Chain A
Amino acid sequence: MSSPIALAIHGGAGVLKPGRLSEEDENDIHAWLHRAISAGHRILEADGDSLDAVEACVIQLEECPWFNAGYGAVFTQDGTHELDAAIMRGRDRNAGAIAGARHARQPIHAARQVMEYSDHVMLGGSGVDAFLASRGLQPVDNDFFDTPLRRQQWEEHRHSNGAMALEPTHAEGHKFG
């Protein structure tokens, strides 16, 4: 007997109120969301695995500069990017996670590599890059993740009040998630 299939995705949550985004931007976001969920949906419709489906969705979302993961990730105080990701399989509760990665082209894929090819649940910092290199994955320069919008937001925060760095606010443009 086959199970029903189900799928859901998210970008960030926060101060998203009608009128703050242009209609053009809203349409662009809807298109990205549809593209991302469609990637996973095709896998599920073809009787594929839920783990492959969630990875496919998140890889698409990581490519979208509207969301804070992968390309378009926010800047740290020192002007670089640190990326985090986790993946988990419900069948056996196997899991993999990375924290503070700097050169992983697709962070969620890196997390899956940790899950499937390491003896560990979570790797952090430079260890992530070393592990990925051992797996033959090509690193990218950290500035690959830069976008003009994120740099502008970082500049505004850096010059307005650097002390707010550790305390996320609800101010517009202050990405969290």
Chain B
Amino acid sequence: TVGAVALDIHGHVAAATSTGGITNKRYGRIGDTPLIGAGTWADDRSAAISATGHGEYFIRTAVAHDIAARMQYGGVDLTTACNAVVHGELKEIGGDGGVIAIAPNGDTCLIFNTPGMYRAWRDEKGTLHTAIYADD
């Protein structure tokens, strides 16, 4: 699964996610589809989020919207919300994977509970970084 989240100079966030699902899937399985609210979400009042991992767990925990709701209704920051969902709600039911997220204030999170995640980001100085493994 691939995805992107962005904040533009006008203060608007957006998210996009694309996938092929799992190898050998059948029966028209849509468990890895980036459903709005589970794998993909964007709301200027909270954050833009794109997810990758065991899709059916992300659906069951409404990962992307859960992160946004924690920020919007609970007042927590982006990192706190992402950590609580990826390492808490998701991991507790056995879901592996991660998210990338950006808040309207420019906060950027790339959080995962697996040994690695292909990823890249722009830091606050404008430098682009790429990484594969957790320790990168």
- A148 interface contact, C-beta 8 A: no
Q: Are B110 and A8 in contact, with the CB atoms below 8 A?
A: yes
Does chain B have a CB within 8 A of A162? yes
User: Could you mark each residue 28-64 of chain B with 1 if its beta carbon is under 8 Å from any beta carbon of chain A, else 0?
Assistant: 1110111110011111100010101111000000000
A31 to chain B, nearest CB (A): 8
How many residue pairs, one in A and one in B, have C-beta atoms under 8 Å apart? Answer: 349
Give Cα A31–Cα B128 distance, bound, in whole angstroms. Answer: 12
Which residues of B from 102 to 120 have beta carbons under 8 Å from A?
102, 104-110, 112, 114-120
The answer to whether A90 and B42 touch across the interface, beta carbons within 8 angstroms, is yes
The contact of B120 among A8, A90, A125, A158, by CB within 8 Å, is: A8
Bound state CA distance, A81 and B25, in angstroms? 10
Binary contact track A42-81/B, C-beta < 8 Å → 1, others 0: 0010011111011101100110101111101111111001
Q: Report how far A51 CA is from B6 CA in the complex, Å.
A: 8
Q: Which residues of the partner chain A approach B4 to less than 8 Å between Cβ atoms?
A: 7-10, 36-37, 40, 53-55, 57-58, 61
Interface string of A141-169 (1 = CB under 8 A from B): 00001000010011001100010111010
Set of chain A residues within 8 Å of B112, measured between Cβ atoms: 13
Separation of A87 and B14 alpha carbons in the complex (Å): 8
Residues in B neighbouring A33, C-beta threshold 8 A: 118-120, 130
Set of chain A residues within 8 Å of B80, measured between Cβ atoms: none
The distance from the CB of A129 to the nearest CB of chain B, in whole angstroms, is 15
**Which residue of chain B has the shortest Cβ distance to A168 in the bound complex?**
B22
Q: Is the interface of B mostly helix, strand, loop or mixed?
A: strand
Residues of chain A with a CB closer than 8 A to B79's CB: none
Size of the B side of the interface (Cβ < 8 Å), in residues, is: 76
- The residue that B16 contacts in the complex, of A14, A57, A64, A75, with Cβ under 8 A, is A57
Q: Are B97 and A177 in contact (CB under 8 A)?
A: yes
Given contacts A33-B130, A40-B4, A86-B33, 5 further A-B contacts (CB under 8 A): A17-B115, A30-B132, A84-B20, A84-B33, A165-B25
Residues of B within 8 A of A (CB): 1-30, 32-36, 39-44, 48, 50, 52-55, 96-98, 100-102, 104-110, 112, 114-122, 124, 128, 130, 132-133, 135
Task: Please provide the 3 A-B residue pairs with the shortest distance between their CB atoms, ordered closest to farther.
Answer: A16-B116, A73-B20, A11-B118
What are some 19 contacts across the A-B interface (CB < 8 A)?
A5-B6, A8-B119, A12-B1, A44-B8, A49-B8, A58-B18, A62-B18, A68-B1, A69-B20, A84-B33, A86-B36, A90-B15, A91-B44, A97-B40, A100-B30, A150-B23, A154-B24, A168-B22, A177-B55
